[in-house]
Each structure stands twice: as structure tokens, then as C-alpha cells.
């Protein structure tokens, strides 16, 4: 998968062995009306793509299907790759690699938000790809993590716009 961007709020440490490491899978997925689900995090005033951490024993795609189902209630199929982004969040001493895919929704249902997601005010909003790019670009995240998410997901959305009709490389 192509590396699209590296995001850091400080210089990368020369010794990465001290960092916590996290991998995550995310998706830009289209419904029959060519709309994509985005999660609005009301508590901190930003939008994000569905997806999340890869649990122990999961591969990237298993995690992706689980996270999309939990956060949007949707089932999906993959139609291509968007790329990967590496983040270094110094506040958490964390290196995170996010893998992003293109897909289409094959069934819709109800999300299964965690208590934390509910307390953060998670809401699904359905937007065209252009509207999603504009929303994320104009967001004003009110927390540390949201500023990383905004940069990451804006790049994924912009890349998805370029690659939307590219053949799958999976």
C-alpha cells in the first residue's frame, strides 16, 4: 500500500523502540446514491472516516469490516486501496499506521457505538465525497487527537477522489 503522508507534532524520536505502536484500518465507502458515511464527533467538533484499531489476532481487512459494521451498521466490499498514513503523536508517545480502502456498501443497518463514542457525541452523516472533503477541511477540532484525525482523513478523502475508479490492487 502506498505511503501518502507522515504527520507529526514534533520530531520523530531517533529510537522508535520506546514508542507504543498501533495499526488501524479505515474506509471511504459509497452507498447506492454515491454518498459516504462520515462520523461527526460532536464533543470535539470534527468529522472522521469509519474505522479503527486492528485487534490482536486480526488482519487489516477483518478489522476494517468489524469497525465499519460497529460504527456505521454497514456491510461493505472492498473495491480498491487509498493508501497509508503514519502518525507520530508525541503526547501519547504513539506511532500509528492507518490503512485506508475504497469500498461500496452492500447492506445498511444500525451502528453499535461504544459508551465512549456515545459520550463523544458520535453521529453518522451521509455526504458526497466533495461535501466530506469540504466538511473535514473546515472542521475546527477542539482536542489534540482531532487535529491529527483531520489531517489524516482529509488526505485519505482527497486521495480517494483521485482513485475512486481505480481498479483494485487487492
Decide if 108 is inside a domain.
yes
* Domain count along the chain: 1
**Residue 168 within any structural domain of the chain:** no
**What phi and psi values does residue 72 have, to the nearest 5 degrees?**
-125, -20
Residue 148 lies in a domain: yes
Rounded to an integer, the average pLDDT of 67-96 is 95
Question: Domain for residue 169, yes or no?
Answer: no
What mean pLDDT do residues 56-68 have?
A: 97
Q: Which of 34, 27, 7, 16 is nearest to 97 (CA)?
A: 7
Give the domain extent around 77: 3-163
Tell me the per-residue pLDDT of 142-164, one tens digit each, with 9 for 90 and over.
Answer: 999 999 999 999 999 999 998 76
**Does 70 score more than 50 pLDDT?**
yes
Establish if 111 belongs to a structural domain. Answer: yes
The answer to the question of residue 131 being in a domain is yes
∠48-53-58 over CA atoms, to 5°? 140
> 168 pLDDT exceeds 90?
no
User: Which CATH number fits the domain that encloses residue 56?
Assistant: 3.90.79.10
Predicted structure pTM score: 0.92
For residues 133-163, one letter each, b for 16 or more C-beta atoms within 10 angstroms of the residue's C-beta and e for the rest, the string is bebbeebebeeebbbbbbbbbbbbbbbbeeb
Does any domain span residue 170?
no
Amino acid at each position: 500500500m502506498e505511503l501518502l503522508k507522515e504527520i507529526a507534532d514534533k520530531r520523530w524520536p531517533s529510537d522508535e523502540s520506546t514508542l507504543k505502536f498501533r495499526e488501524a484500518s479505515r474506509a471511504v465507502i459509497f452507498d447506492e446514491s454515491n454518498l459516504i458515511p462520515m462520523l461527526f464527533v460532536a464533543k470535539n467538533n470534527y468529522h472522521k472516516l469509519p474505522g479503527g484499531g486492528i485487534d490482536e489476532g486480526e488482519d487489516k481487512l477483518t478489522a476494517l469490516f468489524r469497525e465499519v459494521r460497529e460504527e456505521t451498521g454497514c456491510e461493505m466490499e472492498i473495491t480498491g486501496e487509498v493508501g497509508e498514513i503514519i502518525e507520530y503523536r508525541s503526547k501519547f508517545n504513539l506511532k500509528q499506521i492507518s490503512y485506508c480502502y475504497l469500498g461500496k456498501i452492500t447492506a445498511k443497518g444500525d451502528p453499535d457505538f461504544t459508551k465512549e463514542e456515545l459520550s463523544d457525541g458520535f453521529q453518522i452523516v451521509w455526504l458526497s465525497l466533495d461535501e466530506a472533503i469540504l466538511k473535514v477541511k473546515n472542521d475546527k477540532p477542539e482536542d489534540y487527537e482531532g487535529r491529527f484525525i483531520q489531517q489524516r482523513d482529509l488526505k485519505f478523502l482527497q486521495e480517494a477522489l483521485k482513485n475512486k475508479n481505480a481498479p483494485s490492487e487487492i
